[in-house]
A and B are shown apart, each in its own frame.
Chain A
Amino acid sequence: MKQFIQKFKPKTKSQTTTLFAWALITPAALVMFWIVVWPLYETFRLSFTNSNLGTLMSGADYIGWENYEKLLGGRKFPEIVTRTFYWMFLSVGLKMILGLIGAALLASNIRARGVIRALVMPPWIVPIAIGCFGWLWMYNGHFGILSNFAEMAGITDGPFSFLAYRQSAFYSAVVTDVWIGTPMVTLFFLAAMQGVPKDLYEAAYVDGASRWYRFRRITLPQIMPTIVSMALLSAIWTFNSFEIIWILTEGGPRGATTTLIIDTFKTAIFSYKFGAGATRAVLVVLILGVFSVIYLSVLGRISKKYSYSRVQK
């Protein structure tokens, strides 16, 4: 009997288990194949063609690396890539900082924590598009609250349309992106902080460690795995962020908020240059892939070192 049960234990790697498990996974895997993997391959293939609206019926011609040469040789591309990375680092950095602050605040011994935690969530829960409509109104130059406030406080001289100027449009989009991304980061950091063993804090407290010291030396290292993974996830999503920029500025004014994703969408869907758009999509995937690998290998090494030195102390 015992042996029998042992055999059923999930630790076994029998052939029937593998078959059964795969039978359960296959439907989901097929959907992925159909909607993600195959289109990915198609994107790759299209990027070597001159596919556009005109060639939908007749079939596109292979033009080799022409799309890539045109894109990489163009004046605009380096600018767009730099902007996309700037957008990503700035926004993710702010999300991490705000998320840490928010989580530390919520983790402190305060009243009505549950209510406050729930009040932080709406930007994340609400459809991105609708949140952006709200910001669109707030950024309005003549009637928006931000412009009026700046005017009253004497920061600006008269009405200021946040989305009308290159610089301000870019940073306005960043603020909205941070607004949407912060709740989730806060929530995960809070959960991680609450998972840190209490006796660590107590021991440090008995030893006379200050609150700030405890945060730096206990909380931060303990939640480091969560920070590392949330930062990567945030980075990927921010890099791919589409709706926020599209609704606020459509990539303008004069391309000031055109990130790689916006450029891809504009080229492919609005100009119907499917081939050239696919080239951009392939580069998005490539850049993100390389970024993730570098990030994980560098941070993996750092955090290993970090936890090692922690153990030694």
Chain B
Amino acid sequence: MMDKYSRLHKIGIYVSIALFLLFMLLPFVEMFVASLRPITHLFSRPPLEVGETLSFMDFMSRFWSDKMSFQAYRDMWVTVPQLPRYIFNSVFLATAVTGISLCFVIPAAYAYARFNFRGKSLSLTLFLAVNMFSGAVLLIPLYKLLRSYGLLNTYWAMIIPGVAFLIPTGIWLLKSFLEKIPYELEEAAFVDGASRLYTLRKVILPLAVPGIVVVGVAIFIGAYAQQFLFALTFNQNRDYMPLPAGIFEFIGYQSVLWNEMMAASLVGILPVLLIFLFMQKHLIAGLTSGAVKE
């Protein structure tokens, strides 16, 4: 009864949702359309007389042309021969960051989920406070730090800061997953004489796999997204550049190859988009579990 809407109401809701989605998705649609259009068409404007305004058909011609093709998706590999390398770098960096982060996140999250100990809430607060600092604030000392280890212009220059800035969120997310695993299982193992580490490895970890996967995916997406700043500052070597930094090569001295740039961008977001599509239900549930409970 309560959830019934009048017809007018229903139309209002769907129209609003459509507008909301339009805002969220228009850039992607426009990127895709631009990637399909030949560059000459992209840079053509209908000749207008003085005082004449752009007609609706002229406007629509910005979306549609008879010469639309996937040519840009072929040409982009020629324009920027390093492109496969950039995509590989992006995926590799995000994977490495995820793997390394999890090694630190899992034990810490377990400790926060399971034990009451001295300094628990203080240390947890301090971890979360890291979210207050953007990487940009710490760039100078990080630059010097990485330089002194000789790590500038290597993969590590992008992996190490990436790991550090994702650990706190990872701990927070995984903690709420682990809290849902019943204590009784651990008790049983403990009563049977298992050590704490053994219990963690053989009892908790297998049960926590779904949670770890979701947190891993969240970290992966974060790591994939945050590469730009660290790549911009800590890496000059084109062999190690991730995609967001590499795409700048489509911006030439004379003109920008917009269609190829958009094509490369879309191909570049495919990895995260695919992972998200497969995982979205679990991912959304996992990310927002903290929002529901008080």
Contact = CB atoms under 8 A, between A and B. Distances in A.
A134 B27 contact: yes
B74 interface: no
A61 interface: no
Given A5-B191, A32-B127, A119-B24, A226 B291 contact: yes
Given A119-B24, A130-B269, A152 B141 contact: no
A288 to B, nearest CB: 6
A126 interface: yes
A40 interface: yes
Contacts of B265: 130, 133-134
Given A116-B17, A128-B225, A145-B30, A242 B134 contact: yes
Nearest to A129: B244
B48 to A, nearest CB: 8
B59 A281 contact: no
Given A17-B117, A148-B59, A25 B111 contact: yes
Contacts of A148: 54, 58-59, 62
A138 B136 contact: no
A21 B115 contact: yes
Nearest to B32: A134
Nearest to A117: B284
B272 A268 contact: no
Interface string A9-25: 11111000110111011
B65 to A, nearest CB: 13
Nearest to B62: A148
Interface stretch (A80-88, A190-198, A298-306): A190-198
A31 B104 contact: yes
A240 B141 contact: no
A32 B69 CA distance: 49
Contacts of B43: 142-143
Contact of B21 (A29, A116, A274): A116
Interface string B15-43: 01100110111111011001000000011
A202 B2 contact: yes
A36 B27 contact: no
Contact of A143 (B45, B131, B140, B277): B45
Contacts of B183: 9-10
Interface string B256-279: 001001100100110011001100
A211 to B, nearest CB: 8
B185 to A, nearest CB: 12
B229 A243 contact: yes
B294 A225 contact: yes
Given A21-B111, A187-B284, A225-B294, A134 B20 contact: no
Interface stretch (B77-85, B156-164, B205-213): B156-164
A31 B136 contact: no
Contact of A122 (B233, B273, B293): B273
Interface string A221-239: 0000110000001001100
Given A28-B105, A28-B108, A126-B273, A292 B228 contact: no
Interface string A103-139: 0011011100010111111110111111101110110
Contacts of B168: 32
Contacts of A268: 139-140
A39 B138 contact: yes
B118 A109 contact: no
Interface in B208-257: 221, 224-229, 233, 243-245, 247
Nearest to B224: A127
A7 to B, nearest CB: 10
B221 to A, nearest CB: 6
B142 interface: yes
Given A129-B228, A261-B137, 9 more contacts: A9-B187, A28-B127, A32-B127, A117-B284, A127-B227, A148-B59, A240-B137, A274-B144, A281-B138
Interface of A: 1, 4-5, 8-13, 17-18, 20-22, 24-25, 27-29, 31-32, 34-36, 38-40, 42-43, 46, 56, 98, 101-102, 105-106, 108-110, 114, 116-123, 125-131, 133-135, 137-138, 140, 142-143, 145, 148-149, 151-152, 154, 159, 179, 182-183, 187-192, 194-195, 201-202, 205, 225-226, 233, 236-237, 240-243, 247, 261, 264-265, 268-269, 274, 277-278, 281, 284-285, 288-289, 292
- Which 6 pairs between the two chains have the least Cβ-Cβ distance? A240-B134, A191-B288, A35-B164, A129-B244, A42-B141, A39-B141
Interface of B: 1-5, 13-14, 16-17, 20-21, 23-28, 30-31, 34, 42-43, 45, 53-56, 58-59, 62-63, 103-105, 107-108, 110-112, 114-120, 123, 126-127, 130-134, 136-145, 160-161, 163-165, 167-168, 171, 183, 186-187, 190-191, 196, 221, 224-229, 233, 243-245, 247, 258, 261-262, 265, 268-269, 272-273, 276-277, 280-281, 284, 287-289, 291-294
